[in-house]
Structure 1
Amino acid sequence: MTYPATWYAETRLDRAERPALQGSHDTDTLVIGGGLAGLTTALELARAGVKVTVLEAQSVGFGASGRNGGIVSASYACGAAGIRARAGVEGAKRLHDLSVEGVNRLRSHIDEFAITGAEPVKGLLHLRRFDQGADLRAEAEELAAEGLPVTYLDAGAIRDRLETTRYYHGIEDAQAFHIHPLNYLRGLARAAEGLGVRIFENTPATATDFGISQRIKTPKGMATARRIVIATGGYTGPLFPRLQKAVLPIATYMMATEPAPDLLAEVIRTPMAVLDDRRASDYYRVSQGRLLWGGRITTRAASDRAVAKDLHRAMVEVYPQLAGLKVDQAWSGQMGYARHRMPQLGRLAPDLWHITAFGGHGLNTTAIAGKVLAEAILGQSDRIKAFAPFGLDWAGGRLGLIAAQLTYWGLQAQDKWRERSSPKL
């Protein structure tokens, strides 16, 4: 299967193709899904000497794992208040610590496995488009007191970095960074293979046979394993109905502009990535002289032409001076969202595990979730219990998708009202 036409695909360094599974194949652990969650889990199990096989329906990184914004920061899709409401103060602290560990683990993977083409670019500006900043200042001061490299920015400090009047307040996070996600993921696949993991591409799971041993049928073969890990994210199908009912496939969008290094250097005077705090954030970064811009969510993927038009309009709202900058490519992809907007990982049944629903925050959270799941499978720790408050809640099916879209439109309207009510800078 050809990888979707994205700027990441054009600039990926590893173009290795892997065979489809044919005939019978025996393994200890079978991972279904060759995205960040599946490959990280496979790698961590292989470190312990476990024989692991990965089945990928398309090519590794085909889904959101290889098409995302590339921003790595210590966060989840669910906000801090929502996490505390379910997990309590101490539970929220444990989850935050795991998120920070995920950022560090991803960075260490790049160094440990010498993954080229995914070198981290330091920093993230998390900005607000309306004039209320007391909470951001307090948050920055609290994090700085804990020793984290976080700084509050007022409108003037933001203008020193970005030539726009759209942002009123913000936080500069020097611990966060951004990368080329597809180069990272393919480097992770090579590292897993170096530890003995077998990866089969173009090998969708077509049927299951669970019993004393676990069997997965594919178009041209069958894999038998002691245990199975399901890591299918936003592309979870009816083969695993309980998971499918707990995950909403939400489409998100990105574009890459034509090269314009001189113009972009005048307007965006920082190598850091930028993320605003709208309900479906705009996020962007400059890479190789192009502006990569993402945002918007829908419950059904739009055409590339519509994506390009919508994201170009969003870019020009913030930077009118970029109105003449053309879009070279635009694309969409499906993320897996749980109703509670937190990752879902755990055990469905004896020897049947799942790791899914990273909701647009998958880079750092898969890096730690895959490690935590592997520890649970191997009996090395019970850190997986931190995610127990966030189980397989029913996502609502078709009605859930409709509700998600209506909710998003309502929140968009709130964003616009707050922005229009703020004084002009």
Structure 2
Amino acid sequence: MDLLFANDRPGEYPASFYAATRADLLAFPALEGEVRADVCVIGAGYTGLSAALHLAQAGYRVVVLEAHRVGFGASGRNGGQVGSGQRLDQIELERIAGRDAAHRYWDMAEEAKALVRDLITEHAMPCTFHPGVAHACWHDREVRDTHAYAEKLRRDYGYEALEPLDRAGIRSLIGSTAYKGGEIDWGAGHVHPLNFAIGLARAAVAAGVVLHENSHVTTIDHGPPATVITAKGRVKADHVILACNGYLGGLEPSVAARVMPINNFILATEPLGDRAAEILSKPVAVADTKFVVNYWRLSEDGRLLFGGGESYGWTFPDLVRTVRKPMLEVYPQLADARIDYAWGGTLAITMTRLPCFARVAANVLSASGYSGHGVAMATLAGKLMAEALRGQAERFDLMAALPTPRFPGGAALRWPLLVLAMTWFSLRDRLGV
């Protein structure tokens, strides 16, 4: 079974709040016949569209192939949070890579956030960057660790954007008694994720990119030149960029061994009216400290968009039931709120939760496995791959140096082993360990 088609209708966005409020974008024709390009990009999410935009601005002939619609995958379904840093904290990165490299990884992550903001402004995209992401801690020790880490970032990295919150502060912010404290990162933010993807597509096409939707890639011959084959056509290209993330399937086994697809879910309530201010007193997004993270924010029309729960099989569970349970643990006062939308999507994780940058072949680059931290990092990844194809590969290679080991068990056993591990961590969440 192919995850591209396991839970969705071909060529259609899921019935999400984002799809219902998406900006206009004319459909692009499917690929037919043979075309020639300097670069063929597979996947029209943040990674692929950013790569295509930056390459086209540098004068390359770029063709993008998307199996469904622009932003169809995780790029159009996620929580919209534009987070700081890498997915691992700087303490771990210093241990893994050394302090000098850790500082470079931090600087690139800061650039990633700025890139999102700048692209939205430069191309007048149909979305707004809203500043502020709060981190809510379930346990007192997590509050102490969070505040100590904020001080480390201020002292060692010059990052002054973190506002510590005690128990009263977090309760005042999020209107829940579930948490013991936390912080607000005013340097992070949140966006309408699908409209950001649509904005990237509009900018890329304006720069000269040729985009084909409903063009599922079935085979890649590395060449040279590479040949990328779909049901009705093929692209001959000097270079190929794999930007498929959780929907890579069997296109490139060496990447698939290191990048695991998992499913995550979000629901949207009815507009809450005056009650919205009791849920969030400031227009920030929130993520908590559970291993299976809860994350939420208010939409511009006052709905609670709440994400939580994961699954690791091919098909989605009962979405409302799966997400409503953790939502009511945080906000029991919303037991009577109507659920207007519920949707799922497939993202990709790695063993280390660090992104997987790889040179698959001399003319094939890949970036994926953002592990829930992809809005900013995937956008930067596209820019870094564009740099690498232009002969400026230092920053791509620095990201590729991050460890992304293979999942144990190979293709046959990696999913059952992941389910066992995730079940253990979910049990720890429930027990409060």
Query: TM-score under structure 2 normalisation?
Result: 0.92
Partner of 1:329: 341
Q: For residue 58 of structure 2, what is the amino acid of its counterpart? A: A
Partner of 2:137: 128
1:34 equivalenced with 2:11 (yes/no): no
Matching residue within 194, 203, 213 for 1:201 = 213
- How far is the alpha carbon of 1:8 from its aligned partner? 0.5
Q: For residue 121 of structure 1, what is the amino acid of its counterpart? A: H
2:211 match: secondary structure: strand
Q: Could you tell me how far apart the structure 2 residues matched to 1:393 and 1:279 are?
A: 20
| Aligned counterparts, 1:52-71, within 5 A | 52-71=62-81
Partner of 2:232: 220
Deviations 1:371-418 (A, max 9, x none): 122111101351122213335532233422222222222122223333
Partner of 1:292: 305
Between 1:353-362 and 1:195-204, the stretch displaced more is 353-362
Q: Do 1:24 and 1:223's aligned partners in 2 also have CA atoms closer than 8 Å?
A: yes
Q: Do 2:255 and 2:358's aligned partners in 1 also have CA atoms closer than 8 Å?
A: no
Q: Could you tell me how far apart the structure 1 residues matched to 2:273 and 2:188 are?
A: 23
Between 1:182-191 and 1:142-151, the stretch displaced more is 142-151
| Aligned counterparts, 1:353-368, within 5 A | 353-368=365-380
Q: Could you tell me how far apart the structure 1 residues matched to 2:432 and 2:217 are?
A: 47
Matching residue within 346, 350, 354 for 2:358 = 346
Q: Could you tell me how far apart the structure 1 residues matched to 2:174 and 2:256 are?
A: 42
Matching residue within 88, 110, 118 for 2:120 = 110
Q: Could you tell me how far apart the structure 2 residues matched to 1:18 and 1:220 are?
A: 15
Partner of 1:154: 166
Cα 1:383–1:19 shift into 2, 3 Å = same
| Aligned counterparts, 1:233-272, within 5 A | 233-272=245-284
Q: Do 2:225 and 2:239's aligned partners in 1 also have CA atoms closer than 8 Å?
A: yes
Cα 1:298–1:17 shift into 2, 3 Å = same
Q: For residue 387 of structure 2, what is the amino acid of its counterpart? A: E
Q: Do 2:352 and 2:404's aligned partners in 1 also have CA atoms closer than 8 Å?
A: no
Between 1:285-294 and 1:378-387, the stretch displaced more is 378-387
1:99 equivalenced with 2:109 (yes/no): yes
2:217 match: secondary structure: coil
Where does the alignment leave 5 or more consecutive residues of structure 1 unmatched? 420-425
Q: Could you tell me how far apart the structure 1 residues matched to 2:91 and 2:264 are?
A: 24
Q: Could you tell me how far apart the structure 2 residues matched to 1:415 and 1:332 are?
A: 21
Q: Could you tell me how far apart the structure 2 residues matched to 1:54 and 1:258 are?
A: 36
Q: Could you tell me how far apart the structure 2 residues matched to 1:353 and 1:109 are?
A: 23
Cα 1:213–1:7 shift into 2, 3 Å = same
Partner of 1:423: none
- How far is the alpha carbon of 1:241 from its aligned partner? 2.0
- How far is the alpha carbon of 1:39 from its aligned partner? 0.7
Q: Could you tell me how far apart the structure 2 residues matched to 1:42 and 1:14 are?
A: 20
Q: Could you tell me how far apart the structure 2 residues matched to 1:295 and 1:80 are?
A: 25
Between 1:10-19 and 1:399-408, the stretch displaced more is 399-408
Partner of 1:405: 419
Alpha-carbon RMSD across the aligned residues, in angstroms, is 1.7
- How far is the alpha carbon of 1:280 from its aligned partner? 1.4
Q: Could you tell me how far apart the structure 1 residues matched to 2:152 and 2:95 are?
A: 20
1:284 match: secondary structure: strand
Deviations 1:159-210 (A, max 9, x none): 2222211111201111111110000101100100111011100001122233
Q: Could you tell me how far apart the structure 2 residues matched to 1:67 and 1:13 are?
A: 14
- How far is the alpha carbon of 1:147 from its aligned partner? 4.2
Q: For residue 290 of structure 1, what is the amino acid of its counterpart? A: R
2:257 match: secondary structure: helix
Q: Do 1:346 and 1:373's aligned partners in 2 also have CA atoms closer than 8 Å?
A: no
Cα 1:95–1:165 shift into 2, 3 Å = same
Cα 1:207–1:302 shift into 2, 3 Å = closer
Q: For residue 64 of structure 1, what is the amino acid of its counterpart? A: A
Query: TM-score under structure 1 normalisation?
Result: 0.94
Matching residue within 305, 316, 319 for 1:307 = 319
Between 1:135-144 and 1:99-108, the stretch displaced more is 135-144
Where does the alignment leave 5 or more consecutive residues of structure 2 unmatched? 1-10
Partner of 2:4: none
Matching residue within 26, 31, 41 for 1:21 = 31
Partner of 2:3: none
Matching residue within 147, 172, 196 for 1:137 = 147
Cα 1:74–1:267 shift into 2, 3 Å = closer
Q: Do 1:129 and 1:167's aligned partners in 2 also have CA atoms closer than 8 Å?
A: yes
1:51 equivalenced with 2:55 (yes/no): no
Cα 1:91–1:141 shift into 2, 3 Å = same
1:380 equivalenced with 2:389 (yes/no): no
Number of aligned residue pairs: give it.
417
Q: Could you tell me how far apart the structure 2 residues matched to 1:371 and 1:191 are?
A: 14
Q: Do 1:86 and 1:389's aligned partners in 2 also have CA atoms closer than 8 Å?
A: no
Q: For residue 75 of structure 1, what is the amino acid of its counterpart? A: G
- How far is the alpha carbon of 1:86 from its aligned partner? 2.8
Between 1:393-402 and 1:79-88, the stretch displaced more is 79-88
Q: Do 2:46 and 2:197's aligned partners in 1 also have CA atoms closer than 8 Å?
A: yes
Instruction: Percent identity, please.
Output: 36
Q: Could you tell me how far apart the structure 1 residues matched to 2:303 and 2:291 are?
A: 25
